Structures are given as C-alpha cells and as structure tokens.
A and B are shown apart, each in its own frame.
Chain A
C-alpha cells in the first residue's frame, strides 16, 4: 500500500515539474545540503563542548542556547527538501535498505539531539559535567557522523554493484 502511495507521489504533477527543472533541482539540493550543514555543525559543537573538547571558557548551556535554534532551522529545511528529493525517486528509495537505515539513523540522531538540548541546563549546574552526559553527547556525535555516512552510501551501494 505504501509502495502504491510512493508511485502516486513520484508521478504527481508537481514532482514531475520539479524533476524537469534544473533550477528547482539545484535549489532543493542546496536547501538539503545547507540544512544539514546547520544541523550537524551546531549539534556537533554542542556535543564537543559537553565532552570538554570545545569552548571550555563558557557554560555549555549558553552555547547550546545560542546554537539550538540554528539546528532546528536547519532541520526544517533538510526535512522539507529531503521529502522533495525522496518524492522524485520514491518507488526505488522506499524499499532500499540503505535508505531505511539512513532514516533510522537520522531519527535516532534527532532524538539524541533533543535529549541533549533538554538536559544541558541541568548538566551545567554540576561542578563537572556528569559522565552519563558525556556518553549521550558521544552517541549523538557518532549518530550524526553515521547519518552523513549512511546518506552518501545510499547512491553508492544502490547504483554501483
């Protein structure tokens, strides 16, 4: 049933018009790249701060408060353009195991990012950032690198035998 929906989506008129226009395709790709640059750049620096590897001169919560709106803005653009890129090739992507792994890794990475944002104010009140917080930050960091790796593996493992 979902595959039928993918077929309908891929052949709807607006997806066809998107596919036919080079300018629109470039714009969508631009939005996706810039969106994930903003997400990954901001969350990774917050993770590194919690791990004690960045910006130790200031509170982690203040840096996080400054950067998280950048992350959510990036996520908005990446999801919007990601959906459009998916729509263009939905029938092939939907059953693709590499693509499914990518979605799962991205979902987990967003959840861990949200947990870090939710807890970072509390961690700052301790004299030293707790080890459990550092573990969470390390997992978040690894998930975002995994998100990029699984994304670049989608065309690589799908179209190259």
Chain B
C-alpha cells in the first residue's frame, strides 16, 4: 500500500516537474520563435541566447501590483485563475509514458491512473477548463472581459464535439478507452500509427486542439486587437500568470494526448525497450516528450503564420466543416474496423 502510494507520488512528481518546466521553456521558444519568423532578434540579453528571459519575466510577475477591480465579483474573480490550472494539472493522470518496469521486485505501470474510463476521464476534466475563462470574464465586470467569456463558452462547446468525435474514431479499432491499449495497438511499425489510417481524424483533432487551447488562429476569447485582453483584461501580476501557465500546460496535455492517440505515444519503432528495466521508463518519457515538443513547435509556428479568424468564420468552420469531417471519419473507421481492415 505504502509502496504503491510512493510510486504514484513519484509518477505524479515526474509529470508535475515536466509540466511546470514546460512553461518557461515555451515562453522562450515562443518569443525567439516569433522573432525568427518575423525576422527579428527576439529577447537575447538575459543569459545565453536569452534563455533566462523567462525567469526574469517570472520575477517581474511576482513583483507587479496585484489589482482587484472595485466592481469585480470578488469570490469568482479570485477563483477563476486557480481553476485555470485544475484541468491542466489533473488530465495527465491517464496518459501512459513508458513500458512496465520492475522496481524492487514489483511491476510498475508507467501511468498514474490506469482507469477503465481512460481518455473519457481526460476529456471530462478538460471540459471543465472553460469555467475558468467564463468566471474570469463574468466576474471582472468589464464588457471586453464578458465578450471574451461569451466567445470562449461558445467556441469551446463547438470544438469539443469535433475533438471528441475524432478521439472516438481512434478508440473504435482499439476497442478500449485506456490510452495504454491505444499505445499497444500502435507498436507494430511506423505504419501502425493511427495518423496514417486516420489522417482525417488527425487533422480534425489538431484543428480542434487549437480552438480548445485558445491559440491563434482561434484565440478569439482574448483577441487583443479588438477585446484589449479578452477574459483576462482585468487580471494582473501572478493571477494573469496563472492563466498564462494554464494555457501552456493545456497545450502540453493536448499534445501528449495527440501523440498518444496518433503518433504511437511513448513508443518509437526501432528503439528497443528491454522489459522491466528502469531506464526504459526514462526513454519512454523522453520519446513522449519529444513528440510533445514537435506538437508544441507546430503550435508556435502556426501562431505566427496565420491571422485570426472572425467569429462567424470560426463557428462555420467548427460546425459545417470539422463536425461533418469528424463524423465521416468515424463512419469510415467503423466500417473499416467491421470489415477487418484496421
């Protein structure tokens, strides 16, 4: 019992360290990446290559004045940034990150919670993320914030459908909700990765992931050129930083989900995993993180390459393009599975 608890704590610790260190790394990647794309230099003064810029930013956030607007709905206003971290810090529990290893004579599964409901649990927890945005906008008592929240709620609901349907299509041939089994189904070779038979589903998943994490070209809830800062207009100091961290962590989790569903998860063809060897755990985690990093770079690349959608365009894309595509993909995959080709 105690050993089990310790093991779970260790696994969660590994994830937490990864998730929390993603934020400063991504701040650097985003700022230097945008500079590269826009033919600028970017922040290059603090530390080698400007690597410590994120630390300077963090210190700045800590020392900024923390303002609560007089007209704000205080309890909700204070709760919203905290809630922004809840889905970000809980959804990783169902993502597997390595083969079984043996520690001190017992087999340990490299997944925090191998629940039967698996990916459903992840989707359920992630679907609660919208409350933070809605609460923030409503409680700020500011028309720009409110508009941002109204947009966020409509956008998240619309794209959640397409996202969930594309995930369901992956689960059909696997026949299980556990992400563990999803990874196992992709271990044959490169062509067993779900991204190949389910290219349509992968496309829908990636586009919907951009909308679910409020990243450009779908960052309408903040849309700084029209809504000042959208739902977080009135937030300053660490409270703003929490929204910021929540966004990057949600990107990480969705990237990990995408890598697990479509790109073979912690597994890479050609790299052997001697069973029950502790180093395999780190190798698996490293491979998963490399795939996550590829996703994250893509997020950054797209952000600085595309203009923002208009809200009606966003809704049209979600309901009239992505949803039918996701349904088509689901029907195709189901037919192929019944026919025995998948």
Query: Do the two chains belong together in a single complex?
Result: no
Chain B positions within 8 Å of A, measured between CB atoms, are none
